Structure formats: structure tokens, C-alpha cells
Chains A and B, each alone.
Chain A
Amino acid sequence: MSIFSIILISVYIGLSLLPIIYNHIMTRGGVVKEENVKNIFDKPNKYNSPPLFGNNRSLIVFLNNLSEDQINYILSQLKNFSTIKEQLSSGNKKLN
């Protein structure tokens, strides 16, 4: 191994140590004050909203947006389903 390659490798090692030392010194004072930081999340947008329930595909939002007719229709369908189930379990082959 030549001297040149040893010098080159030590330069590489020094270069990769540089940012580690820099970061260590710069953040030694602990947590930076929050108020000095410009908050980019002030305006509500689609990324800012709570992800689990804020999404328009979630079930809660879907149910919340239903009109009264739609809810009644869904409820009647559910009732129908239960009667069909009862008829089947009681042994009727023809459904009313």
C-alpha cells in the first residue's frame, strides 16, 4: 500500500468525522427554543389534519356526511337482512 493511498484514506476518515463533530458541537446546548422556529404547519392542509379520522375515506366521516334518507334506507336494509336471516334459520325455503 502506497503512502498516497494512506493519505487519501485518512482524508476520507477526517471528512466523515467532520460533520459528526460539527453536529455534536452545534446541538450541545440542548433543545432549541420552539418559538424561534417558523412553524410551517399553521395552515391546515391535507397533510396537517389528523390522519386516522380526518381522511375522507374513513368510516366516521362517511357516516357523518350521510343525509337522513340515506340513513333510513340503510337502516331498513339492515332490518330486512335480519328478517331474511330469521326466515332462513327457521327453515323456510321461499323468502317472503
Chain B
Amino acid sequence: MSDYLRRILGHGFLAAISGIEITNIVVFTKLGAVYGVLGFLLTVIFVLPIAYLQQLIIIPRKIYGRSLLDELQLTSQRNYKLYLYTIYLSSILTLIINIIGISIIFSIIIGSKWIYYALLFIVLIWILDSMWKSKKIDKFFLILSMVLMIYIILFIFELPFLSTIGIEGLSEKISYIDLLALWGAAAAPYSLIIQDLGDEDYTSIYAGALSSIFIGISIAFVAYASMYPLSRFNIVHTLQPFYRFSGYVVPVYALGVFGSVVLASISIVLTLKIILRRLRVSIVSDTDLIEHLLLALIISTIPLIIFFKVNDLMLYTEAIIYGSMMIGFIFSITILSLFMYYLYRSINDRKPILVFNTVFLGFLTIISMVLSINAFIEAFHGL
């Protein structure tokens, strides 16, 4: 592998690509179908801050020579725990959504009950995770991320058909729930930990951001071009656009979804392992640790259980969008803790780069908080 290619396919690329999973696919599909061109542009707007956050994780390593997690641990224990807990929560939630989502998609494509696919998938993740002790982790990652590029290929191959449809924005008012869901889908908090394991190069971050923008736009465009009526938006309907194209598209779509979900799940398991190891060191007592983790697990699964009960196993897509919204909300707290760290650092030594990032991160925190509050108001208003 040449040096340049190695720089492009670094940890930033890995983090960005592993951030694409079932929430992204569902949310991008809905955005493309409901908001049209505005939906594509929104994916661009929401992916760029994530690339910025990935940069922010590298900056402490560049300035102080320590990883962000070590820096957080040294500056404030509470902030450090807040950071780890929020990432833990959102990772668990993402994992559950992914397992349920992919098993439902496969049960629609192939048949049979979704619970069997869920069990199969859990076993598969377990096996892959135990295989990870070998040194071929990176190659495995890269092969799976190549599978994800299928979306772009699909987009290019079907372009002649798509060009017959006029590109116009649909005059639909943007709902805050969708925006926060997009924020949660684009964020994928566990990718912050994956990024933290990596080197100090920005090139891979840009490559990752660019490819995730491409993937997002292609998914949204395919959904938009299918012109499916969205009065009752179901996960079956996320497949509908793909059925309209030629025969090979559905298996390719399934393979792409499968690759992305496997990649995401394995990186989530890796993240959870790192977080558990870190928390075990800082909490000391094992019973404390178990209590904390059980509490986190319960808190994170409650919203999903409620929505599955309320919607009576019909509106899976809505459940996934609500789950993604919850991830977005938790992620805004993660950003808050990152902001606290930068604030603390910039007060102690006033480097321009630290001060600038503190101010900008502050803006980002305020925007995400306002977004979360509005989305929650909207969600409860709907109930």
C-alpha cells in the first residue's frame, strides 16, 4: 500500500465510515423522500461538524502529546465520566437499533421472523469480535468499508434513469425531530473513541467526511427519485425505491446495509470494551461499575421499548428515527463535555487555537442543545 493511500485510509476514514449504519440509512432515506434537494444539502451541513469534531479530538494530541481521553481524565474526573457515560449510552442505543433494524430488513428481503436474524446477527458479531485479536483488523475494516462504496456506484449506474426526474425541493416544512435525528445519525458518538485511537493526520478525516457525504447524498437521492408517497413511512418503504430499479440493486443494497451494520457493530463493541476498561480503572469497585452500567443500559433501552409498544410493531422507521433523535440528544451532552474540556484548557493556557475552538464549540453546543429542546417539545406536542 502506498504511503498516500495509507494516509487516506487512516483512523479518520475508519471512524467516519463506521459511523454510517442503519440510523443513517433510514434518516437519509426519509430526508431525501420528504424534503428533496434540501434533504441532500442538510446531509452535507450535518456531516461537516462531525469532521470538525474529529479534528478536535486530534488537537490535544498535537498540542500536549496525550490522547483526548487521557487529557479528559487529567483535567476533570466528572467531565471524563460524563463523556464516557454519554458515549456508552448512545453506543448501546445504536447497537440495539442496528440489530433490530438489520434483522427487520433481512426478514423483509428473505422472509421468516426478524428475531431469528437478530440472534444470528448477535452470534456473528460475537464471532467477529473474538476474531479481532489477530492483526488483520485494519484490513477487515477496509474491506467492509469498500462494501459501503456500493451506494455511490449504485448512484452513478442509475443516473440515466434518475435524470428524467426534475430536481426540485419539496415544499415541506422541516421538523426538528428529523433534524435532531439527522444530527444523531451523522454523529455516531462511538466514532469519537475510534478516532482517539488513531494517528495525528487530518487527511483521512477529510476523505471520510467526503465519502460519507457522497453516501448520504446518494441514498437521499435514490429515495427522492422514487417519489414514494410518505403518509405512512415504514421500513418496508425504505426498500421501495430500490425495488423500482433493476434486479441487482436489492441484493447490492442488502450487502451494503449488511457491511455497514457489521462494521458499526464491531466498532461499537470495541468502543464499549475501551470504555469499560477505562471506567473499571477510575471507579475501582466492580459492584459500582455494574450498577452504573446496568442503569445506563436501562435508561438507553427505555425509549425504544416504549416506541415499540406504542407503535405496535408497525412503524419501525419511526422508532428508528426516534432512537436516532435520542442519540442526537445524548450526543449534544457529549459535545458539552468536550466543550468543558476546551474551556478549561483555554483558560489555563491561552493559545489562539484553543480559544478559537472553545468559542466555536460553544456555538455548536448551543445549537445542538436548542435543537434537542425544540425536538423534544415537538415530540411531546405530537403525543
Contact = CB atoms under 8 A, between A and B. Distances in A.
Nearest to B78: A47
Nearest to B351: A32
Contacts of A40: 75, 348
Given A13-B45, A58-B284, A31 B52 contact: no
Interface residues of B, number: 38
Contact of B356 (A1, A17, A22, A58): A22
Contacts of B284: 55, 57-58
* Majority SS at the chain B contact face: helix
A47 B77 contact: yes
Contact of A1 (B37, B45, B200, B202): B37
Contacts of A31: 62-63, 65, 200
Contact of A9 (B45, B55, B202, B356): B45
Interface string B51-63: 1100110010011
A81 interface: no
Nearest to B77: A47
Given A13-B48, A26-B352, A57-B284, A20 B55 contact: yes
A23 B44 contact: no
Interface string A3-40: 00100010011001101101110110011101001101
A73 interface: no
Nearest to A25: B353
Contacts of B48: 13, 16-17, 20
Contact of B49 (A16, A34, A37): A16
Contacts of B352: 26
Contacts of B62: 27, 30-32
A15 to B, nearest CB: 9
Contacts of A26: 352-353, 356
Given A19-B360, A22-B356, A23-B55, A1 B169 contact: yes
Contact of B64 (A1, A24, A27, A34): A34
Interface string A50-65: 0110010110000000
Contacts of B351: 32
A48 B44 CA distance: 41
A57 B352 CA distance: 41
B74 interface: yes
B254 interface: no
A23 B52 CA distance: 9
Interface string B183-217: 00000000000000000101000000000000000
19 contacts: A1-B38, A1-B168, A1-B169, A5-B38, A9-B41, A13-B45, A13-B48, A16-B49, A19-B52, A20-B51, A20-B52, A23-B55, A23-B56, A23-B357, A31-B62, A38-B348, A51-B73, A57-B284, A57-B285
Interface of B: 36-38, 41, 44-45, 48-49, 51-52, 55-56, 59, 62-65, 73-77, 168-169, 200, 202, 281-282, 284-285, 348-349, 351-353, 356-357, 360
Interface of A: 1, 5, 9, 12-13, 16-17, 19-20, 22-24, 26-27, 30-32, 34, 37-38, 40-41, 47-48, 51-52, 55, 57-58
